[in-house]
A = this chain, B = another copy of it.
Amino acid sequence: MQSVHLVLLMAMAMATATMATTTTLTSLTSLTSCSYYVLFLLCAPCTLVHANTVWPMPAMLDLSLTPIQPLSHQLANTLLSSTVSVSPSFQFYTEGPTNEYVQAAARRALKIITHTQSSRHTHVLKRASEGELASCSVRIQDASTELTQQTSEQYTLDVDAQTLSCSIVGETYVGAVHALESFVQLVDTYTMTISATSIKDKPRYAFRALLVDTSRHFYPVETLLTNLDAMAMTKMNIMHWHIVDSNSFPYVSSTFPEMSKQGAWAPHHVYSHEDVATVIEYAKARGIRVMVEFDTPGHVDAGYAAIPGILTQCYDKTTGQPDGTTGPLDPTNESTYDFLEKLYTEIKAVFPDKYVHVGGDEVPFGCWESNPSIAKWMAAHPNVTDAAKLEQYYELRLLDILKRLGFSYMCWQEIFDNGVQILPDTIVNVWKGGSDDTALKKELQAVTGAGYRAVLSAPWYLDYISYGEDWKKYYLVEPDNLCDNCELFGVEACMWSEYVDATNFISRSWPRTGTLAERAWSPKNVKDVDAASPRLNELRCKMILRGIRAEPIHPSFCLTEWPGDAEAETVRASIRRAGLDMRAESYR
């Protein structure tokens, strides 16, 4: 085995960042006087990881004297071939308005470069060429730290090989965060070079989500943060947090503490308000919104059972007696709505996003239909003629509460299908019909035809694993082909957790979720699965360099393989610490 030469031990000067114009954010400071840093690899059969690609593929390449044109990957491979050496004292600096998230992101970006660079195992040194990139300016047009559905994610990134200059411009901090991620991905940390490039980038869809289910299994906060790292790498912008379900209720409600006490898998497998705040702030610093889901009136059991009277008692039809089980929330009980108002008032305070996901899927009608007091109530309400109408009644009451509380909402498609009157800015989550294109087309046309925004989940149920390179299947779904004469608002991958917990959530989700991320971000013409294959492999190797346990997509290797659990955790912690704002307690 080759001995390990770690010649370029770099330390990061954690410059105390201020908000002033032209602030040095971070710098690569060589601890040695070594000026040799172009590195060769003694690698025999290796297909080397090439860094001159970004996942997801950027939208546009702005060539100086030609019009802006869509970037295809073939073009990218040609145009990005000119490389610039990155100086050992490379630094990011801000120009104009800035904010704490931009500064934290720049510190993390530099940390990633220094870390991954020093984690090389095998190399020899050559003298660097003359020209070096000494710095990159980071400018944002709007220094607001607000993050909403409307926040612009556009950015430009220019690395000029002739002038040895680099500039990043984001409309908002989120654009700058994305640009810094692209910058880091463009750096080949084995040779410490960056591809000369000119990127003008923005997402194809404004809504690019991953559903995370913490009810079927409990995930520690650490696991959620690592997943956010991977989402940020792939420019996804929504963590759809399916926080509770029938199986367990890990959310600690201050209003109804009995819900998690009785409904969590175990007393210590819960999310406190502080845990939730950590996740939200960590996500926000990376341009990711956390949209929480409290799924009702079905998918309730654990937790809700602690609140007297709100669950429907199911009856045995033969004996006419309670069968000992409970079903959905009881929509005929006024205390149900008192409960919901209090719960959502708390949710509004704990989860700052404008949007909440109200669930509404798979309501089992049988239990409602079996219950004599519900039958009696329905007899007194002649408009409520069947269970579907009863569900409609429930949703109307719930959505009225949400409207009063100032929420916008997302819902599973059943609420729309069932004809409930929903707010105009509602997002309808189309999840049924997996590979049934006809059904999907019909649903999407109906949803968008009625003026609502549609988010498509059905093709990306990533928990349905299968043998082989199943990522190709997910990559090849073209949303436009499922939306005739209609426009999708976004796409969402789902990692339901029946068979997933902290042991396998990250490896099973990544890099597979990257397929959806590129479909959601990149232009429609970025769809060549053969071209995507080495790029996706490279993405997963970059994830490993950052301590994210992404699994292989085919027989291959990463020059730096999974480094062992403890080392990976150290790497992640080190990158996170780099992003910590000196004035803030929480992760950035």
Contact = CB atoms under 8 A, between A and B. Distances in A.
Given A45-B248, A466-B467, A554-B498, A561 B218 contact: yes
Majority SS at the chain A contact face: loop
Interface in A554-580: 554-557, 559, 561-562, 564-566, 568-570
Given A465-B467, A507-B503, A44 B263 contact: yes
Interface of A: 1-2, 4, 42-46, 121-122, 216-218, 220, 222, 247-248, 252, 261-270, 272, 302, 463-469, 497-504, 507-508, 544, 549-557, 559, 561-562, 564-566, 568-570
Nearest to A213: B555
Given A122-B266, A549-B503, A467 B464 contact: yes
Contacts of A559: 266
Contacts of A217: 552, 555-557
A266 B502 contact: no
A461 to B, nearest CB: 9
Contacts of A549: 503-504
16 contacts: A1-B272, A45-B248, A45-B264, A217-B557, A218-B561, A248-B557, A269-B561, A465-B467, A466-B467, A467-B499, A500-B551, A502-B561, A503-B551, A503-B562, A504-B508, A565-B569
Contacts of A266: 43, 46, 121-122, 557, 559
Contacts of A561: 218, 220, 269, 501-502
B504 A1 contact: no
Given A220-B561, A267-B1, A561-B502, A45 B262 contact: yes
A559 B265 CA distance: 8
B501 A551 contact: yes
A43 B267 contact: yes
Contacts of A500: 551-552
Contacts of A553: 499
Contacts of A468: 498-499
Contacts of A44: 261-264, 267
A220 B562 CA distance: 8
A499 B264 CA distance: 34
A39 B47 CA distance: 56
A14 B89 CA distance: 50
A570 B562 contact: no
A570 B569 CA distance: 12
Nearest to A226: B565
A570 B565 CA distance: 10
Top 8 A-B pairs ranked by shortest CB distance? A565-B565, A265-B557, A502-B562, A216-B555, A566-B569, A504-B507, A504-B551, A566-B566
A496 to B, nearest CB: 10
A569 B566 CA distance: 6
Given A217-B552, A503-B544, A122 B267 contact: yes
Contacts of A43: 266-267
A376 to B, nearest CB: 32
Given A122-B266, A466-B466, A499-B468, A569 B562 contact: no
Given A44-B263, A466-B467, A503-B550, A220 B564 contact: yes
Nearest to A216: B555
Given A45-B265, A216-B555, A502-B564, 5 more contacts: A1-B267, A45-B264, A247-B555, A498-B555, A504-B507
A550 B504 CA distance: 8
Contacts of A552: 217, 499-501, 503-504
A216 to B, nearest CB: 4
Nearest to A502: B562
A553 B504 CA distance: 11
Nearest to A271: B1
Of A46, A465, A469, A557, the most chain B CB neighbours within 10 A belong to: A557
Contacts of A218: 557, 561
Contacts of A555: 216-217, 247, 497-498
Given A262-B45, A557-B266, A499 B122 contact: no
A252 B1 contact: yes
